[in-house]
Structure 1
Amino acid sequence: MGVYTVTGLNNYIKNVLTSEGALQHIWVEGEISNLTKHRSGHYYFSIKDGSSQVSCVSFRSTNRKLKFEPEKDMKVLVFGSVNVYTIRGQYQLQVLDIRPDGVGELYKAFEQLKKRLEGEGLFAPEHKRPLPRYPLKIGVATSATGAAIHDILHVLQRRYPVDILLCPTTVQGEASADSIIRSLELLNRTDADLIIAGRGGGSLEDLWPFNEEKVARAIYNSRIPVIAAVGHETDFTISDFAADVRAPTPSAAAEIAVPDRTEIVKHIDDLRQRMESALKNRILNQKKHLEYLSGRISPDRYRELLNQRSQHLDEMTYRLTSRTEYIMQTKVAELGALAGRLNAVSPLNTLERGYCVAQSDEGGTITGIIDIEMGESLQLKFWDGCCRVKHKENLDEGC
């Protein structure tokens, strides 16, 4: 067993804790105590419950985004990741968001629904559809007056202008979940290539419509790929997990939805240069190869080869013509022989020797007296024509 330095031990413990996925991006419920607001803008405090406490640090970049001012003894939900302050050998929660603890029950419902839908396979990666690389029309389900639609339009105009089909949607309040579902249904009846559904930031209660089960199922059942863009980067909703792609903000959703036209132009220019270079190299190589062949085959040698090929072609043409004439003569002789054999057994030859064929008016052949009635008309067919006769009487046998 090796010997650790104090720093080495603390660093090792830090690596163990920060590499544990279950301790990253977690919510912790508790009461604020020992709160220090440093002049640097960072907050240092602990959160505690009835029997334990954990140290927390919230840096200025996070504090600027908070929608309230934390106070001592305030019950809160803290979102962050477990880390280690190696100088003191102290594990702590590095805070990414803080919210008042009026949402504890909602958060429990969120986790329960998330676990159930995940078990049904609504969040499975194999159900995620790829986004179109170059969309022509994008449907947006959000408020027509909120900041989200303005952010989306601004980013799309800058990066890759496309047709926008806005479906005005209520994204907060009692009727918002049904409004979101209705917007998704309407957009699925259009020719949009993808859908952005979302809103700007807010409290967990404000964002709750996007945690409704029926909204998640509407997103999952969408015919068109959906990007969920709800709240800020630290906000996670059930819709985020059900969507094909999650965007941390509406602006980020617009960036994900379309390529950057500047990069496209640059890529096309790179391809043009590569094609020109490849074409020049190919022409140069073919020119060198032609010069090489010209040096190896003299005009006299080429003319000799051409004459030999021409003579060989004449010889093959003569042989083909002779063979064709022979086959035709053979087939004509075979046809004459078959015609003679057929003529030998032809009924017409029999008729030429004085015989005839008796037929009824219906065309049937009469082979004996028994086939005709007294007074019945019949036809006699000779070698040179036919005549009609009438049966008068039967003569004695052997007449």
Structure 2
Amino acid sequence: MRDQEPSPAASERRLSTKEAAELLGVKPETVYAYVSRGQLSSRRAPGGRGSTFDAREVEALARRNRREGGGSPGPAGELSVRTRLTLIEEDRYYFRGVDATELAARYSYEEVAEWLWTGTSRPGATFTAPEASVAVARRAVDALPEHAGPTDRLRVAVTAAAAADPLRFDLSEDTVLATARLLIPTLVEALPPKAYAGKDGSLAERLWGRLSHRDPDEASLRALDTALALLVDHDLAASTLAVRVAASARAHAYAAVSAGLGVIEGPLHGAASGHAHRMLLDVLDQDSAVPVVAEELRAGRRVPGLGHRIYTGEDPRARALFALLEEVPRAAPALAAARDVVATAARHAPLHANVDLALAVLTASSGMSATAGETIFAVSRTAGWIAHALEEYGERPLRMRPSGLYAGPRPPRPLPE
């Protein structure tokens, strides 16, 4: 039943719960959560039937929510957070208003990261880690068992680097940016090398030597660098939201990155390219995508590397990376296998290839393991996580605090025996 509203005084207009919820754009339960957090005051309606709210308080809270963008519901009731970093629109995406695929085509990963962090261009930007930080991280990573996965190694490296940094609690922009420029190469150089991997050259060159035994040709190295640049950010993906929650609680940059790494390992996020990698190897082994795709569908699984919940058309990241892989001679078999998968699956559902399939072509054709795509994704996305942490540090603390909608038995209940 609708709350009863008292006759307002000339200087005070009262709103019912339903009216307050409509003005705030939330459910009635959320209005009471605002009351419990002290953001709204309420008054019982005459006869004790429901509550009323000061219209001026409700309007002020609605304005604040729109301005801060934190904790406000977005489309279809999803959480919406105001950001100046990435826009995804009409099957394209933009970093600070610039087409991200064009940035990745013209600039290195390090230069794209700098653009995302600062909105200014830093031609020739390179990231270099101090030897002491790398040594601490490498010792920690080397202590892990051989079966440890790439995200295990990166998480341990982040924790070790944090412990070695006495300035990690300084959340000023300059210090966080300095941390980012040191942390990313530390993560790369802490990984065990598969071939000679020095400290010189671009980040992509240093990462290659930790992912493949083969020497990279120019086209392959360019594809890896572009993949890093394309994956640097993608709005509020699950791992990025975790980073912003940590930053909202004023966790330092290393801890915020650790929060992202804790989420990225899931099979529906950073590890997705590994499934696509194994599928491509199966297609190459059987010389046909038909039995492989059939087995995925028979098992009730989605075909890896196809479709995207945001892009209704083609994933722009996949399109850009596939174009570069066309220039890599030894990628031809994996590219053909990927096309076979798309064509075969189209008989079941017309889905486009996503970036996980393109990343799988890169890793499968470069002598890398199935987990290499996860490493590439995590190293790349670290720059985006830092950008989001920086943005969140400038917002009201602890704003990323939604309220649970309790669905259990109503109290009071007797103590359990």
TM-score, length of structure 1 as denominator length: 0.23
Structure in which a larger fraction of residues adopt strand: 1
Structure in which a larger fraction of residues adopt helix: 2
TM-score, length of structure 2 as denominator length: 0.23
